[in-house]
Amino acid sequence: MTIASLIQLQKPEPLLFKGMTWREFKAVEQLLDRPGYRLSFLESTLEIRKMPGEPHETVKKRLATLVELYLLMAGFDFTPMGSMTLESESGKVKREADESYKLAPGRSRPDLVIEVVFSSGGIDKLEAYRRLKISEVWFWEDGALEIYHLRGEGSALQYEKLATSAALPHLDLDLLLRCATMVNHVDAIKTFQQGLSC
């Protein structure tokens, strides 16, 4: 039995408000600065989501624990950034990833962000991350992982969907996904650690 089978997957849709300027968004953001809501912005669209519940947070923290264990054991000099706010006024974008990582010292932005998807609709997250120039984006949904890596330069930047991670090429994704969906958190970590030691 997996985490996904233990929870009722409801996919609430966010509230979307179109036709806003960056200044209007920043004003609304100040007014709606209260617990329980997450705001994102892309081009001229404001997205308001309720903060995720326990199933989302369980998967998010499980993935974070496993990825951080891998990074530590693989010798990365990494910095976990959590759900830090990423924004660019010139790109007309604001986004908070569920988890994010700088994979080496001296980075100005995260190299890897992870999104745990328990809702539908909303702004184009990949476009938001493209404008923020995030090298790699992972989407976990229903026990599966989609990986996108940024290629190109300047205005030609585009995400390419990959079967394995370009940022973490030696990570066993099958092991990661199997452990991410185990019911017991401690068993999942131990299983993952044993798999990495082989």
Comparing CA positions, the residue from 104, 160, 154 lying closest to residue 131 is 154
- Strands 158-162, 144-151: pairing kind: antiparallel
DSSP state of 20: -
d(CA 112, CA 191): 24
Comparing CA positions, the residue from 48, 152, 138, 141 lying closest to residue 99 is 138
Ordered by start, the domain boundaries in the chain are 53-197
Q: What is the value of pTM for the model shown?
A: 0.83
Residue pair 140/180 in contact by the 8 Å Cβ criterion: yes
Each of the 198 residues of the chain gets a pLDDT tens digit; together they read: 444 443 444 566 788 889 999 988 888 888 887 777 788 888 888 888 777 677 888 899 999 999 999 999 999 999 999 988 999 999 999 999 999 999 999 999 999 999 998 777 788 999 999 999 999 999 999 889 999 999 988 778 999 999 999 999 999 999 999 999 999 999 999 999 999 975
Q: Which residue has the tokens 């569920």?
A: 98
| Record: fold of 53-197 | tt1808, chain A (3.90.1570)
